[in-house]
Structure 1
């Protein structure tokens, strides 16, 4: 991964020109794309979720589409539909906006469960099926979905099966005062945020990096640590549903991508700790009693990181192979 490190840092730095003061979020989203996974952003409006997705597509040279999810949105509005072509006297499939590389599913939980389920096959298998015919989606296909965690009126909770398909979940949060001043100055000077980003990668380079990721070494001790962290989330009395085995896989993939972003060809316990909350937090369901007491999912993951012994880290100069 060493030869890609400088270019990956260029991608992150370029996105940071548009997304002020959110380096860790940008790095997580970039790592998720390299790992081939979808991202759930749970945050209030106005904190640059759309800008983040659009900037990501721009720096990677990928197609981008945005769907605003509403209660009256139909599955065919997302996937497309088969219509009669009178000119050619045949049925033709008209592709929907889902046929892109980076899909921003804005306020996903505002759509009905039927419409939400239209994304499930796409997220799981990178394909859609219409009238019995299966159509492959572009490669890569990444969903960046958003939902407002504050406003619940007129929303439909995402089913656990769909939440589990997101490789990572995170929040962006409000900027610091200095960063917010910069954002306001951008608007005052140009009338809009600094949204112009340079293309750093192309799809071929992205495929090269993704093809190299399996070569990033994950030791047996690291695998055991990842599984132990995941299993810890299932053994708490305050948890009604812990992270699934898919969560352990997600943590392993994110930790490996995090190592790659850092320019290393092996995973350390610190990579795992850094990715534990994004990979596992959204997969946890608290018991009603814990929810009433104000227990947070984040505290369960943080407790796991504190309680489960980490393996001895590899030295930078050692050969893990």
Structure 2
């Protein structure tokens, strides 16, 4: 069996616990395909799992990574619709590796108009925004916190595509960028208390957490929804809902359609190698990233970072 590289950790802790290891090439089970990873990306869930803040993976050792864009190398039994050589993207647990086995239900064909770098930036962040904003429609007022971040900048565009009036919180440096994505109002959270500065909204998408829950509840109309993707302090409010993203190849096909017609674009802050994953985690954890950090699988990025 071929040996491939992956990122692993033996203990929870800081970025320094991440290490390159050699493992056997995974074998796809029934309903899975083996994907040769061209690119993956960093999500907040990655560094939270690394630090032990969330323990959905159980105790280490484990391999992080939720996003993948690459090429099908092998198919398992009971697989229809994909074959070796197909370019795909989707959510894939353990994607910080050269190869990863992925359920076909979590994958979609990679859009022809996206390179692997931009395709790898989309799945987890876009699905989070897509699913969290379910039910939003024309005329709804939506407040999105951390609107310039990996999930936030996609949520702004998806909410606008559904006809919503979108308000985002972000530092002033990002206001012009967000208005360019379609935001109707932008609030600098470092200078203005959004909880007293806004008219009532129909929905809040909280991508920050902590005390943003109770503060957001003050601007939420009585029948509104407070969707929490990070863990905030409004759990006792009847309008509160804790949200967790789930893989969906079918939703990714719908997201691809928005990208194809120019109604959704993903921002890549920078492209790095999986060899530099510790630094990528430090950057992501700083909260000063616009869009996504993408990681290529120990190869040159020269042919991967040009978007059509």
TM-score when normalising by structure 2? 0.28
As a proportion of its length, which structure holds more strand? 2
Question: Considering only CA atoms, is the larger Rg found in Structure 1 or Structure 2?
Answer: 1
As a proportion of its length, which structure holds more helix? 1
TM-score when normalising by structure 1? 0.27
